[in-house]
Amino acid sequence: MEIFVFGSGAWGTALSMLLTGNGHQVTLWTHDGEKAAAMARTRKNPALPGVVLPEGLAVTADPAGAERAELVLFASPSNHLRRTAALAAPHIRPGTTIVSATKGLEAGTDLRMSQIIRQSVGDGCPVAVLSGPSHAEEVSRGMATGCVAACEDKAVAERVQSVFMSDMFRVYVNQDVVGVELCGAVKNVVALGCGIVDGLGLGDNAKALFMTRAMAELAVLCQKAGGQRSTCSGLAGMGDLIVTCLSVHSRNRRAGLLIGRGSPVALALREVGAVVEGYYAAASVTELADKLGVELPICRCVYGVLYDDRDPEKVFRYLMGRDRRSEFDYDW
């Protein structure tokens, strides 16, 4: 199959390598012509140190190559996706399978990534979502990974499953696109908060408490938005939450760690040196919660630290001092 990938960061590159290894003809797009030439020449991407690109993987700065593709994959950062999708749209043929591998919500609109793509491309192409616990650093090295291919049309989800599945990249299908995408956005906010908990030195018990109660919040948000609670206990939910909160590869956790140790938010984001999706998602998730009438105390507290300069330690003590409640009382 001929596949065109928009987004040459670590994730887009890792997925391009996976797809090339699966025997597909893959072209990886970057907006930077010099970067495209350098990657084609050196067979390296600075975003994945020590990783060599397979010879069969083409690199380009020309979006017109998408006209030949049977499948188009979007892996841009969430804050660049609308611009990238608009650039790509004129070159995507009707009927082309589109996959979004970007996690997040759009600032200002609170739209999910598949909704942005749909607005840009129109209704002539099926749109699926690929999500789950999948750090690019490990996928690019062929390490065992499991993900979810989600689409309301089960046949499309199964098509995506067959394209991406390999001996070391296991893919499950799911028809709950809303739940899968919300899990992918909220887990970044939680991971940033979990890094703050680590930076404050509050211990493993506190971290487990933080993660578990955040997952309860996510279940409420998913249901209110039209998704399914069960999705939150799967790979796109709990699986992605675990890896993003605990992994050394997690940019969100690293940013939170720096903030918890006293770094100003802006400095922590710069020091991480790449897009920290949880920072943007915190604002969008809070806006969405307001629209849906969902409380989300943990996500709101993370937002307060990031945007309102609230003291992280006082915020955590506020969470610990909230009114008593039943563990499974979700009518917040």
DSSP string, 57-85: -EEES-GGGGGG-SEEEE---GGGHHHHH
* Closest among 248, 272, 271, 268 to 260, alpha carbons compared: 268
* Closest among 287, 261, 257 to 272, alpha carbons compared: 257
Q: What number of H helices and E strands is found in the chain?
A: 15, 8
* Closest among 224, 228, 225, 252 to 240, alpha carbons compared: 252
CA distance 32 to 41: 14
Using left for φ > 0, alpha for ψ between -120 and 50, and beta otherwise, residue 203 falls in left
Q: What are the tokens at 114?
A: 């598949």
CA distance 111 to 302: 20
Do 243 and 250 form a contact (C-beta atoms < 8 A)?
yes
* Closest among 140, 148, 119, 128 to 28, alpha carbons compared: 140
Distances (CA, A) of 300 to 277, 282, 303, 315: 16, 8, 5, 10
CA distance 74 to 330: 35
CA distance 281 to 186: 7
Residue in 44, 103, 154, 187 annotated catalytic: 187
Q: Decide if 291 is catalytic.
A: no
Do 81 and 105 form a contact (C-beta atoms < 8 A)?
no
Q: Give catalytic residues, as residue numbers.
A: 187
